[in-house]
Amino acid sequence: MATASLAPWERELGPSTSVLHNGDHLSAAEFLRRYESMAEVKKAELVQNLVYMASPVSVHHAEPDSILQLMLASYAIATHGVRSATNQTVRLGPDDVIQPDGLLRIDPEYGGASHLDDKGYIFGAPELVAEIAVSSVSIDVREKRHSCRRAGVAEYLVWRSLDRAIDWWVLEDDEYRLLEPDASGAISSRIFPGLRLDIPALLAADGAAAMAVLQNAVAERRHAFVRR
């Protein structure tokens, strides 16, 4: 291959490089090839062909993350046909490979839009993607949200820790619309019956209160997704 025809990163590192850099422009296939070869990389994502590497994790991310994961996992345990996952690689399409803090997905045999590939990665759009945003606020509420919208992720949630706010969007007519809290401050999913999050309790780090609201909602709306 002539040097003039190589991309800048290829001229510097060679066309067979396995190095992954923040800011690289890659396809999903090339991103995954490099990511899998770099054991020391803990988290990286490809959003609209651009590589983003994770920052060190502070308490502003870790504590909300633990509470949100508890909510999602508890809902999935109580709901037949639904699975939760933490930091799982999701190949949304040819330009986007994300690794959200949390997600909920409906099993494909129950009508879910995503499936697992032969490496155990999620391929396609989970029904709900959730992010804890501290240093990543800009990308989470802009580029990554747009990528999830284009891929058909039905609901997208961002907990902006430093702003003490939670934004929850639902996909309607190919656009995201913010879900509004009710009089008590809680928001209910449009896709997952019984998934009800008490926003004031979550922002106050009152996990017990938030769990009580979720458990009551699940108990009131006993259900399971129907096998197809």
pLDDT on residue 17:
62
38 within a domain of the structure (yes/no): no
pLDDT on residue 73:
97
What CATH number should be reported for the domain holding residue 89? 3.90.1570.10
* Number of domains forming the structure of the chain: 1
Compute CA distances 167 → 29, 81, 170, 181, whole Å: 31, 26, 10, 10
Compute CA distances 182 → 24, 59, 141, 152, whole Å: 42, 29, 22, 26
pLDDT on residue 54:
78
pLDDT on residue 97:
94
130 within a domain of the structure (yes/no): yes
pTM of the shown model:
0.86
Structural domain for 192, as ranges: 59-220
225 within a domain of the structure (yes/no): no
Query: Mean pLDDT in runs of 10 for the chain (228 residues)?
Result: 43 57 88 85 85 85 95 95 95 94 96 94 97 80 92 97 95 96 96 96 96 94 70
212 within a domain of the structure (yes/no): yes
206 within a domain of the structure (yes/no): yes
pLDDT on residue 141:
81
pLDDT on residue 116:
95
Q: Is the sign of the CA dihedral 200, 205, 209, 210 positive or negative?
A: positive
48 within a domain of the structure (yes/no): no
pLDDT on residue 159:
96
22 within a domain of the structure (yes/no): no
